[in-house]
């Protein structure tokens, strides 16, 4: 056994402990600093919090003011009138697009939100509306309100062909479900229409004859009858109020009613291609020297006589020619008291810009075309030939 002293063991143990502690890595000062949690100055934290709150509040206030300004139509600048047309295909989204494009609103999404809240789709209707940039959101929606229906209502397309009378137009509208024939006839007779060329003193549907412009229209099912008729008249007024048309009307020396009456005669007589030639015969007879077998002023147009005989069937007879009516242009000179149908723009242009000719007569041939004649004998010869198709 080896010799050792009790003190040797204690000495060895102490050295081993110190050696182990020396071998263990010691944290440096920087490591101890990273682990220590830094605390912000309380005053600085309070200031930063207040700045964040103020900035957020200012941003929200600014955005709120911009939205409120748009909602209430503030700061829109100089007043500007705008025409906006709403069709059956439109939605709240497309209506908002149109208003934004017209510079009546700035924030489309905000208007749509407002419109959904007040259920504007049940208020805005199909039509053409005069709006302006002084209108707030509510006024814009109210300005596009229709008494006839809303964007969510059922609509129908109706095409009115050239040459239909008021009675025929009303019958077609009733067939399409726009309104009843009785209500439409009552409106045509008694409603007060705010147009200079409509005779509101008359209580006959002929007062609207010539002014229900042929076109394709969209109507609500169960449309307001007066509103339905006004759609036609508005379209007519729009077509006739052009500067060129107004200048030609003035230079013609005739009233608009006279021009439309002539156009209606052309419409009922044309084969679809010869409006200007028909116009030349009408003007020659109205303005001619009176040496063409009494044709001066005598238009002798069958369609006008048939207007006075709406239930007539078959060919015109000698008895029909004796009908005592101002629409009988075999008996009475000049124009009939009203248009006899609703002419299209081609016939209106022909009445405004007639072709110059020497013709006083025309007749329909077997080729379904009109043949024109300067004298009665040539006309009579044609009518007695196998080329005559009347």
Length of the chain: 390
At residue 2, the pLDDT reads 46
Per residue in 234-244, pLDDT (tens digit) is: 999 999 988 88
pLDDT of 45 over the 70 cut: no
The CA distance from 381 to 363, in Å, is 11
b/e map 225-249, b = 16+ CB within 10 Å: bbbbbbbbbebbbeebeeeebeeeb
Shared domain for 309 and 280, answered yes or no, is yes
Shared domain for 168 and 111, answered yes or no, is no
Shared domain for 196 and 260, answered yes or no, is no
Residue 346, in any domain of the structure: yes
- Give φ, ψ of 249 to 5 degrees: -60, -45
Shared domain for 232 and 270, answered yes or no, is no
Per residue in 306-359, pLDDT (tens digit) is: 999 988 988 889 999 999 999 999 999 999 999 999 999 999 999 999 999 999
Number of domains in the chain: 3
At residue 36, the pLDDT reads 54
At residue 4, the pLDDT reads 46
Lowest mean pLDDT among 59-63, 82-86, 302-306: 59-63
Grade residue 57 by pLDDT with cuts at 50, 70 and 90. low
Shared domain for 263 and 377, answered yes or no, is yes
- The CATH number for 100's domain is 3.30.1490.480
Indicate the pTM of the whole model: 0.72
At residue 288, the pLDDT reads 74
* CB hemisphere CA count around 134 (13 angstroms): 5
Residue 173, in any domain of the structure: yes
At residue 12, the pLDDT reads 46
Q: Which residue has the higher pLDDT, 64 or 194?
A: 194
Highest mean pLDDT, choosing among 99-108, 122-131, 205-214: 205-214
What is the percent of the chain where pLDDT is above 90? 54
Per residue in 181-210, pLDDT (tens digit) is: 999 999 999 999 999 999 999 999 999 999
The CA distance from 147 to 138, in Å, is 17
Residue 65, in any domain of the structure: no
At residue 337, the pLDDT reads 96
Shared domain for 86 and 206, answered yes or no, is no
Answer for the pair 189, 145: CB distance below 8 angstroms, yes or no.
no
Last residue of a domain, one of 181, 206, 240: 240
Residue 94: alpha-carbon gap to chain centroid? 14
Last residue of a domain, one of 99, 120, 143: 143
Grade residue 68 by pLDDT with cuts at 50, 70 and 90. confident
Answer for the pair 117, 138: CB distance below 8 angstroms, yes or no.
no
Residue 185, in any domain of the structure: yes
Shared domain for 236 and 313, answered yes or no, is no
Residue 359, in any domain of the structure: yes
Q: How far is CA 116 from CA 55, 92, 145, in A?
A: 31, 8, 15
Give the pLDDT mean for 126-135: 88
Shared domain for 236 and 257, answered yes or no, is no
Residue closest to 340 by CA, chosen among 220, 209, 230 = 209
Q: Which residue has the higher pLDDT, 5 or 85?
A: 85
Highest mean pLDDT, choosing among 136-145, 174-183, 239-248, 286-295: 174-183
pLDDT of 156 over the 50 cut: yes
Shared domain for 210 and 285, answered yes or no, is no
Residue 23, in any domain of the structure: no
Beta carbons within 8 Å of 297's beta carbon, 6+ residues apart: 285, 286, 290, 333, 334
At residue 18, the pLDDT reads 55
Query: For the chain, what is the mean pLDDT?
Result: 85
Q: Residue 279: left (phi > 0), alpha (psi -120 to 50), or beta?
A: alpha
Domain ranges, residue 349: 253-383
Tokens matching residue 359:
């013709």
Shared domain for 263 and 378, answered yes or no, is yes
Shared domain for 231 and 349, answered yes or no, is no
Give 157's strand partners: 218
Give the pLDDT mean for 360-364: 93
287, with CB counted inside 10 A (0-12, 13-18, 19+), is exposed
Lowest mean pLDDT among 28-42, 49-63, 236-250, 262-276: 28-42
Residue 258, in any domain of the structure: yes
Shared domain for 165 and 234, answered yes or no, is yes
Answer for the pair 281, 362: CB distance below 8 angstroms, yes or no.
yes
Q: Residue 304: left (phi > 0), alpha (psi -120 to 50), or beta?
A: alpha
Residue 3, in any domain of the structure: no
């Amino acid at each position: 056994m080896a010799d050792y002293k009790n003190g040797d063991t204690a000495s060895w143990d102490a050295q081993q402990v110190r050696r182990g502690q020396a071998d263990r890595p010691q944290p440096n000062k920087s490591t101890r600093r990273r682990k220590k949690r830094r605390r912000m100055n309380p005053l600085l934290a309070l200031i930063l919090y207040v700045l964040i709150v103020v900035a957020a509040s200012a941003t929200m206030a600014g955005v709120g003011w911009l939205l409120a300004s748009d909602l209430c139509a503030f700061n829109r600048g100089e007043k500007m009138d705008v025409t906006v047309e709403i069709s059956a295909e439109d939605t709240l989204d497309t209506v908002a697009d149109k208003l934004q494009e017209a510079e009546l609103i700035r924030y489309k999404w905000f208007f749509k939100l407002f419109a959904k809240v007040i259920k504007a789709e049940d208020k805005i209707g199909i039509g053409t509306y005069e709006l302006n940039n002084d209108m707030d959101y509510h006024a814009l929606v109210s300005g596009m309100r229709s008494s006839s229906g809303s964007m969510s209502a059922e609509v129908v397309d109706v095409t009115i062909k050239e040459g239909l009378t008021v009675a025929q137009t009303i019958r077609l509208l009733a067939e399409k479900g726009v309104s009843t024939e009785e209500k439409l006839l009552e409106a045509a007779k008694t409603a007060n229409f705010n147009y200079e060329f409509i005779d509101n003193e008359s209580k006959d549907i002929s007062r609207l004859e010539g002014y229900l412009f042929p076109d394709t229209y969209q109507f609500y099912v169960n449309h307001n009858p007066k509103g339905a008729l006004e759609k036609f008249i508005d379209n007519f007024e729009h077509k006739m109020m052009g500067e060129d048309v107004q200048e030609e009307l003035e230079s013609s020396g005739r009233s608009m009613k006279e021009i439309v009456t002539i156009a209606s005669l052309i419409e009922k007589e044309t084969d679809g291609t010869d409006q200007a030639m028909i116009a030349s015969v009408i003007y020659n007879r109205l303005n001619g020297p009176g040496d063409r077998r009494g044709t001066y002023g005598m238009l002798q147009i069958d369609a006008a006589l048939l207007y006075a005989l709406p239930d007539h069937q078959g060919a015109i007879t000698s008895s029909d020619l004796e009908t005592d009516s101002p629409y009988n242009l075999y008996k009475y000179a000049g124009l009939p008291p009203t248009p006899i149908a609703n002419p299209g723009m081609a016939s209106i242009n022909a009445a405004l810009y007639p072709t110059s000719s020497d013709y006083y007569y025309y007749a329909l041939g077997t080729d379904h075309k009109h043949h024109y004649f300067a004298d009665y004998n040539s006309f009579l010869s044609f009518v007695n030939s196998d080329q005559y198709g009347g």
